[in-house]
Structure formats: structure tokens, C-alpha cells
Amino acid sequence: MGKKDDGSGATSGMIYVYDKELAWVPARLVSQDGDNAVVSIPTYADEAAILTDGGKGAKSWREEKISVKNYPGKQFPLQNIKGGKLVEVEDMVDLPFLHEAAILFNLKARHVQALPYTRTGDIIIAVNPYQWLTDIYTEKVQLKYANRLVWEASESDARRGIAPHVYETSALCYKGLAVDGMNQSILVSGESGAGKTETVKICMNHIAAVQRGTDADPKEKNMVVQRVVESNPLLEAFGNAKTRRNDNSSRFGKYIQLQFDRNEGGAGMGERVPPTKLAGSKCEVYLLEKSRIVGHEEKEGTFHVFYQICAAKEADKAAIWSGLKGTKPQSFKYVGAAGNRKIDGHSDGDHYYLTCDALSLIDIKGEKLMTLMRAITAVMQLGQLGFGPKFGDNEKGAVNTKNELSDLADLTGVPEKELELSMTERTMITRGETFKVPLKPPEAKDACDAFAKEIYAKTFLWLVREINAATCAEDNYTGERRSDFGTIGLLDIFGFESFPVNGFEQLCINYANEKLQQKFTRDIFQTVQEEYKFEGIALDDIRYDDNSDVLDLIEGRGGLLAMLNEECVRPKGNDREFVHKAANGNKNSKCLIKDRLMGPMDFGIQHYAGKVTYFAEGFIHRNQDNLPLDLKNAAKKSSNEIIANHLENEKMMKGDTAAPKMAQSGPRRGKSNIAGDTVWTKFRTQLNSLMKMLNETQSRYIRCVKPNTMKKPLVMQHMTTVEQLRCAGVVAAVTISRSAFPNRLDHRSCLERFKMLVKKKGKKDDGASDPKEAVIKLMSKALAPMKSKDGTEGFVVGKTRVYFRLGALEYLENERMKGWDKWALDIQRVTRGWLVRRKNSSRRMKKKAPSAVVIQCWFRCFLARRDLKRRKKLKKLKKKQNKKQNKAAIKIQAHVRTFLWIPKFKELLKEKKEKDGLKNKIKDLESAVREAEKARAKEVEEARHVAEAEMEEYRAKIKEELANDKEKQKKSAQQQTLIDESGKIIEYLRKENMKLRNQNETMRKDFKALKENNARLMEANQSASNSFTALNDHAKQLNVTNAKLIRNVEAYKTQLEKLKDDLKTRQAYYLAEAEARLAYQKTMAQIVGAIQDKCRDAQLVEDVVIMALECEAEAKSERAALEAASSKKKSSSSSKSSKTTKTAPVEEDLDSDSDSDSD
């Protein structure tokens, strides 16, 4: 502690210093003398307020004396700061100073802005934001990354210009598989609560979206894709549990292989990426935490499915088992109180029905679903059993909860007596005899717990097999491919663990992380090699620490694994003896830690992420974990299909068949069987298989980080984050990438930053012509004191960057600060001289001030009068100019208006003439109609007058005749009748004339309507002819498409023939290899016989016989596989022949369709 500082003192660099509680804090180097330095450290309100801001947000400053001996290269890590602000980057490879503190504060600066993803080369660091950031997971964002990284062509790195994202990793994996044809893998790691499982789901969903292509409808659902994506939550229900760190923590590791049908013929016309469709998936699981089944800490929970069953509706619980009615989680000892449990906003009851819906997708429903749920319920019921002394004898145990035992027997279908005996007695087999040994009550309870753990573990594996059967491409894909699918693997595995007390599970988990770290280190080393090759830098100086010594300690011939298995085989093997042997057998190993302060059951290992101390109590018991023969026999009598038939099935796929177990020649090999079946041996075999698969793929890494333990958004705790960065290998990756050259700058930045170190004479040259040459000249002069005795420079210049050796950049920064001091002195000297000169001149001016005022007054008057005259002239000129402009504008407007109105007037005149002509025509027609009507009226009137005159004459004649002759009176009466009738006829003719006029008017209207209909029919005829032309063009296009399809059918036939020939060649090769293996087997049998006859070492004879039996079993399995392949080939050849007979009429139909289309 030292004196107070306001942060404004002279400093020589912005640095980071180590803090016991906060890991790293920013500081300012005040002075340095050898290994001792004085630094000024800003004090902030809290940890969240600490930022690399040059101390702007600090409350105060304090000075401390610090030794630099504990810092790498005895140099403080420098801050990436420019203009008083942190240089925040998306890709931390671009940081000039890349070290642990720089990584921490760059991640923190992005985290507080809700930017969860940061890139470090090919590694994506995902910081859990503890909130769902909707805007970065939309379909639009998915499409953006797919287009940029997969579908669009790019000459440079396609990642430039887009923000880091896990979509980047998934899109590049899809591109690597589709374009390069190389299987891919994504390794997701991190501690519990860091977001590994969620990250894997995000990657899976994006890969499923990318494989649809650019033209597919996102709403269109593929059943295979739906099963693959929605089957993952099933494993969460059965394999996840609540822990102190995470409410939904995966308590197992899983490796999901997404299977793809890749078109090996390459991309089609107009395509850049070959079609690669998601065909299915396979899943493998590792190291389920079985100890959680029978017990857990108070604030933690067991697996979710137990709570879900207890929270189901009463009717559904009764359908599973009547004993579940009215039960709650606290009703079962293995489960315990649930508390207020909610995951993703859903209660346990909601999750139960979501789980059932997901199970129905993989065809687990009805009675099959009930079988699964009853197996899980049997596990809960086993926890209800209690054990005590039998008739007061503490050496013999018995079940003292008879009702619970009866309920368990009813649930499982195993007779009650046999169930009790299987847990309270142990069958021992010796040479020639078999006998029963009673178990003590604690041992019986252990047997019961082991039975529960085994049932749940094998039920979990049964579920994995069902998921794989429903999603694997070999059984469910409808495309042509049936094998050899391309894969993208997603590994979600437990991160490195170090607790106050570490047991057997932590040792297995950390062993797996050591294996993965070895691959990670080698991949990073390869990336650094590629970078140095591109830059043209020699690769001799790269150094990195390999963790092979730790792996040798764990899995070597005399390592911990071998000694633990040996202690498991030994009749009186115990944990204390295992620790003693491990310490003595590996005393020369630097990775094994055993000091006097440790207890007899403690040992430590120096892992890549740090020292971990293990407590070995229970190692032997947990490593064996074998189910006794009595419990296996009892389980086989169960009515539950899972318990009865799957307790010895370790496979992940339904189609996998275990190698047949050979009959043993005697009981003396029982120990080897025990050793071969240990948990660690099985896990190592699984892990080696996983590493083999991963080594055959191109791996990409996502490191998940848990920023704080409070699960608060936008808050980062320094120490927690730094420990995770170390455990995730991010710091190790930086160490490898910067082993030879810890710091780097691009050419321009180097020139701009350090050009002031060398004084130049003559013209200014900033290196614009050749930056590389300018950098070489500049650095050769600036770093001349750093040159070693053997002539090695302190820097290397690549194509685009300058690489600095350890301490070189720090030396340049110190020299730069000294240079700034010199420049500051020069600036101060010039400034002070200017200030003195200004002060003296002001004194002289004060003496001359009165005279100057008079001169200024007269001069200002002169300037004002001159300016007034100028303004008056300008005003007159403006008036004249405005008048001229107005007159000209009026003339222009007149001409323009005349010009614009002449055509309009002509149009109006023309229209008026046409209207007048039409009016005249109408008047002529009206006058003609009136004349015609007048003529008709005149004719009718004349006809009427003539008729009336004639009638008058007739009347006169009739009257004369009547007067003369009476007989003629009768005739006159008739004539009178005729006259009346003729009057009626005339009246009728008048009416008919009016009707004809009305009909004429109606016919005129009808004629006009007919004209309008005719015009409409003409327009309809024109549109019909256009439609006919379009249909004709479409028919021609269909003909062309049909022809292409026929050509594609022919191409596929030729490809099929080639595949047949290739299959025959491979089968012949496999048959020859199998025959050779049989010959080797016979030779091995002879060797074994000779060893058994002549060798006196019984253990060696036993090991050789076991190896021979394993080889023989493997040969038999290969022979069975070959026979199955030959039988499949025969059946497939017969089915293919029937298919070829069917393809001919299909082609004929295609031809007929094409002919009809062309017609």
C-alpha cells in the first residue's frame, strides 16, 4: 500500500496486475527498478464497474510496490488501449497484446453489451448471457450466416464482416461436409451452467435449417428432421438434474452424429454446394451419474423424470401403477421434496406430458410407454425398502418393510421371496461347489441401491437405443443411400471439474478432458503452423506443453487405471492400498502430487487446468459396480420387458450384436472377467472409440463460459471466468499460438505506432510504397539493442504482420514512452518561449495604445465610407437588373403560354367543329323524322276524309233507296253494319300504327346494345388467343423437362452399375481378409497350446488365453457379419431384378408423356 494518486501522474504504460480476489485489474506503471515496480491501481465501486478505461470511472487511485518475478518474462501484461479506450475486437487474434488479462477484459466489454459470442481464431467463446437474446436467433439471422458462409462465393475469409456466432461454426461444418466431403465435429465444453446443452440445440437447429437450402419453405416439416431435433429433449428429461450451479444440468456426456446424404456427383448446374440433406442421427452417451439416483444433496435434485411422474395427473399415475395414487416427490426417499421447480417456464407436470409427446415421436406409446414408466417407478420403489437384522442377528440382513417389498414385487412381477433373497444373500461359486452367503443389513442396502442404479442406467441405454432406432438414417431415410453417410458430430461433454472433495467421478471426467485437451492442443498447433506458413515464418521456434505425461500417469502400463483394476481383482484390495501403490509406482512422475500434508487416502494430479486433489475413499467399490448374479437372475423373472431383458445390454444401437461370450475353461479366469468389466475400463474403451471418431473428422470448438455464479445477466466475475478459460484450454491455446512470438501487429499499425522512435532526415516517407520494407528498416534500428549474440532479431516480419519475440514489444513501448517524454520537453520549450514573447509584445502594445486608437478610428471611418459607396452601387445595379429580369420574364411567359395554348386551342376548335357537325346531323335527322311523321299523318287524314266522303255518299244513297223501296231497307241495315265495322277497322289501324312506332324505337335500342356486345366479344376473342399462345409455350417447356428426366435416368443406371462392380471388389477383399484372419487364429491356437504346456507362469498363461479368446470372438463376429452381408446381397439382388423389370414401363410412360406434351 502506498500514497494516494489521482491518476494524472506521469506514467510509462497501461498494464494489468494480478489480484487474489479479482484475478486481473487494470493499473498504470509509475516506475520500475529491476524486479521491483511501483504501480498506480484505480479503485472502482464494485467488480462490475472495473473496465479498461484508463481509470476514467475510478473513485480513487492507490500506489503499490509489486515484484515482476511472478509475471511471464518478468514483464507486466500490457493493455490493448487506444485513445484512452479499450480496443474491443470480435476476433481476439487481432489483439496486439494477447494474454489472459486481455482475453478477460475483451470478453467482459462484449458481455456487458449483450454480445455473448467472441472469436479466437477458429474457436468460438460463448458467454452465457442468462437471458434469451431473441434478435440474434431469428430465421433472418440463420439465413444470413448460411448465405454468407455456405451459399455465397468468397475469395477471402467469409467470416470477415460478420459478428461471431455459433451459427458460424454450424454453417462452416455443413460447408466442410458438403463441399470438401470431410466429416465434421463440433466439440462443446464448459462447466455446469455455462450453456453447453443449449448451444448444442442451437447448432442442431441451424444445421437443420441450412440443409433445407435457400429455396425451401421454412414452414415445411420433414419427419426425419423433426425427430432428430425433438428427440434431444428426451435425453434431458432422463439424464438432466438440478445442481447447485444449474437447474438443468446434464449429468452425462453425449455425442450426437447427424447423418447426411451427400451428392458425391458434385454440385449441379448453377449450384456451388452439392446437395447435402439431413438423413438421420445417432447418439452415444457416456458416464451417466448413477450415484445421483440413490441420493443427492439437499439443494440439488435427482433426474427430472422422477419429479415429472410424481407431478402427473392422478388418472395417468394410476395407469402406470396403482401405488402411485396420491404420491408426491417427498413420498419417495430417492427423490425427496421438489420445492418450486420450473424449467423453461414449465412445471414438472407440464414437462411430463411434453416428454410423453416426444416419446410418441419415436414410437414409444401405449403399453411400451407404460413399460418404460413402470421401470422408472420400480427404481423409486426400491428406495422405499428398509433392511435390518434377521431375528436379531446382525450378520444376516432382512427386509423389514414388508408392505413396500410386496408393492415392489407387484410392480416388477418378481416373486416377493426371490426378490428379498436376491438382495440379502450372495451366491458364491468356487471350485466344484456353489453356496449362499448372507449379507449384513448395510451390505443388503448397498445391493438394493446397486440394483436401482443398474435398472435406471440400463433403462437410459434402452431409451438411447429406441431414439437411435427412430432417427438413424440406415433405418429411416427414404433416399437411395443406405450406408456410408456423411456426419457432423456434436459433443456435449462435462467440463473439467475441481471441487473441495473430488472422487472417482471427477477423476473419470478430468481424464476425459485431458484426452480432449490433447486433441485440442494438437489442432491449435496445426492452426499455428498454417498461419506461420502463410506468413512465411520458420516453424522451429514453436514450443508448447503436451499433456501426454498426465495421460501416461492415468492410463499408462503402470498408471492409476492399471493399479486400480489390479486392486479391484485382489481379494482384499482396498482404497488405501491403491493410493499407496500409485504413489510408490509413479514417484518419478512430475504430475503425481503426494506430500506430507495429504492424508493416506489423498493424492493429487497436476492437470493442464491446474492441481486437483482426489479423495480415494470408495474408488474400488465404484470402479467395480458389478450387479451380483442373484439380482440378475431375479431381474430375468420380471414381467417388465426392460428389467427382464436389457440389464446386460451395453449397446447404443439395436442392430449392434455383442461378441459371443466363450465358455470358460475353468473358474480361475473369473478375476480377469472382473477386471475387464470395471467402470474405468469400459469408460476408457468408450473414450478411445470417441477419440478415434473425432480424429477422423475436422473438429471445431465452442467453449462455453459461465460469467457469474448468481445467474445474473450482463455481470461478469473475474476469477470465475479466468478459471473457466484455463479449464477450457483457451489460455493454453493462446500460449501455443504466442509461444515463439507473444505479440503481433499489422504493418500499418506498427509503422504508425513506432515511427517516432527513429529520426528521419530529408523527405517524409511513411512506407506507403512498401510497408514491409519500411517495417524491416524501422524495427532493425529500433530493436537493435534486443538483438541476441547469435544474431537472432527480436522480431520477424511476415506477409501481413510483424511478430515480436518475448519482451520486444514491451521494450518498444518503453522506448516510445521515453520518446514521448523527449518530445514533450521540446514542446514545452517552444511553448514557454512563445508565451514569454507574447507577454513582452503585450507590454509594448500597451504603451502605444492611445495613438493606435486614433489611427484605428480614422481607418475604420475610411473603410466604412468605402463600403457604403460600394453597397449603394450594388443596390442600383440590382434594381436595374431586377427590372430587366421582370420584363424578360413577362415576355418569356407570354411566349411560353402562347406556345402551350396553341395546340390546346386547336384541339378545342376541332372538338367544337365535330360537336357542331354532330348537332347538325341530329337536327337533319330530327327534321327528316318529323317530315316523315307529317307525311304519314297527312296520308292517314286523307284516307280518313275519303272514307268519310264515301260513307256519306253511301248513306245518302241508302236513304234514297229506303224511301223508295222497303225491301232495300234490310240491305241498308246490313250496309250500316258494314260501315260500323269499317269504322272499327280504321280505329284498329290507328292503334297498330302506334305499336309499330314503339317497336321501331325498341329495335333502335336493341341494335345499339348488340353493337356494344359485339365489341366485348371481340376483346374476349383477343384475350383467348393470347392464353392459347401461353399454353402452347408451357407445353414446349414440359417437353424439354421430360427429355432431361429421361437423360438423368440413364445417368443413374450407369452409376448403379459402377457401384455394383465396386461392391463386388470390396466383398472379395473382405472375404480374403477373413480367411487370413482364420489362418492367424489357428496359429494363435497352436501358440496358446504350446504356452499352456510349457509356461509355468499361471498369470501369463491366463492373459494369453484371454487374448486368444477375444481374437477368436472377434473373428467369429466378422464371419457372421460377412455371412449376413452375403445373404443381404442375395436378397437385394433379387429385389433389384424385380425393380429393374418395373423401371422399363416407367420409362415407357415417361416417353408417352413427353409425346403427349409435344403434341
The model's pLDDT over 659-680, given as tens digits with 9 standing for 90+, comes to 333 333 333 444 343 444 788 8
Buried/exposed 592-627: b ≥16 CB within 10 Å, e otherwise: bbbeeebeebbbbbbbbbeebbbbbbebbebbbbeb
Q: How confident is the model at residue 1139 (pLDDT cuts 50, 70, 90)?
A: very low
In angstroms, rounded to a whole number, what is the distance separating the alpha carbons of residues 601 and 577?
9
pLDDT in tens, 720-773: 999 888 888 787 777 666 655 666 788 888 888 788 777 665 455 554 567 888
Q: How confident is the model at residue 1084 (pLDDT cuts 50, 70, 90)?
A: confident
Q: How many other C-beta atoms are found inside a 10 Å radius of the C-beta of residue 163?
A: 16
Residue 368: per-residue pLDDT: 94
Q: Which residues sit opposite 189 in a β-bridge?
A: 703
Residues 391-395, mean pLDDT to the nearest whole number: 86
Residues 292-315, mean pLDDT to the nearest whole number: 91
User: Which of 1143 and 715 is assigned the larger pLDDT?
Assistant: 715
User: According to the 3-state scheme, what is the secondary structure of 103-133?
Assistant: HHHHHHHHHCCCCCEEEECCEEEEECCCCCC
Look at residue 172 and tell me whether its pLDDT is greater than 70: yes
Look at residue 1063 and tell me whether its pLDDT is greater than 80: no
In angstroms, rounded to a whole number, what is the distance separating the alpha carbons of residues 719 and 23?
5
pLDDT in tens, 340-375: 788 877 888 999 999 999 999 889 999 999 999 999
Cβ contact 412:378 at 8 Å: yes
Residues 1050-1072, mean pLDDT to the nearest whole number: 77
Residue 965: per-residue pLDDT: 65
pLDDT in tens, 207-242: 988 988 876 666 666 666 677 777 777 888 999 998
Distances (CA, A) of 717 to 48, 365, 469, 722, 728: 8, 47, 44, 9, 16
Residue 416: per-residue pLDDT: 93
User: Which of 867 and 1085 is assigned the larger pLDDT?
Assistant: 867
Look at residue 331 and tell me whether its pLDDT is greater than 70: yes
The reported pTM is 0.65
Residues 275-292, mean pLDDT to the nearest whole number: 89
Residue 1045: per-residue pLDDT: 78
Look at residue 46 and tell me whether its pLDDT is greater than 50: yes
Q: Kind and range of the H or E element at 4? A: strand 4-5
Q: Kind and range of the H or E element at 900? A: helix 849-964
Average pLDDT, the chain: 81
Look at residue 544 and tell me whether its pLDDT is greater than 80: no
Cβ contact 303:240 at 8 Å: yes
Sequence-ordered strand ranges (E) for 566-639: 592-593, 602-607, 610-615
Q: How confident is the model at residue 151 (pLDDT cuts 50, 70, 90)?
A: confident
Look at residue 657 and tell me whether its pLDDT is greater than 50: no
pLDDT in tens, 1103-1129: 777 777 777 777 677 667 666 666 655
Look at residue 17 and tell me whether its pLDDT is greater than 90: yes
Q: Which residues sit opposite 164 in a β-bridge?
A: none
Residue 656: per-residue pLDDT: 63
Q: How confident is the model at residue 982 (pLDDT cuts 50, 70, 90)?
A: low
Residues 15-20, mean pLDDT to the nearest whole number: 92
Fill in the DSSP letter of residue 1021: H
Residue 56 dihedral angles phi and psi, to the nearest 5°: -65, -35
Cell numbers describing residue 1036: 414446349
Q: How confident is the model at residue 519 (pLDDT cuts 50, 70, 90)?
A: confident
Residue 1008: per-residue pLDDT: 74
Residue of 256, 688, 237, 170 lying closest to 468 (CA atoms):
256
Residue 1153: per-residue pLDDT: 44
Query: Which percentage of the chain shows pLDDT scores above 70?
Result: 84
Residues 919-928, mean pLDDT to the nearest whole number: 82
All residues at 6 or more sequence positions from 348 whose CB lies less than 8 Å from its CB, including other chains: 304, 307, 308, 310, 311, 338, 341
Q: How confident is the model at residue 409 (pLDDT cuts 50, 70, 90)?
A: very high
In angstroms, rounded to a whole number, what is the distance separating the alpha carbons of residues 1158 and 1153?
9
Residues 1063-1089, mean pLDDT to the nearest whole number: 75
Residue 610: per-residue pLDDT: 84
Cβ contact 309:349 at 8 Å: no
Cβ contact 86:79 at 8 Å: yes
Q: How confident is the model at residue 870 (pLDDT cuts 50, 70, 90)?
A: very high
Residue 1150: per-residue pLDDT: 36
Look at residue 931 and tell me whether its pLDDT is greater than 80: yes
Look at residue 549 and tell me whether its pLDDT is greater than 80: yes
Cβ contact 486:181 at 8 Å: yes
Residues 110-139, mean pLDDT to the nearest whole number: 91
Residues 831-855, mean pLDDT to the nearest whole number: 84
pLDDT in tens, 469-512: 988 988 888 887 878 899 999 998 888 888 888 999 889 989 99
Residue 861: per-residue pLDDT: 92
Q: Which residues sit opposite 63 in a β-bridge?
A: 40
Residue 287: per-residue pLDDT: 84
Dihedral of CA atoms 1021, 1027, 1033, 1034 in degrees, nearest 10, equals -150
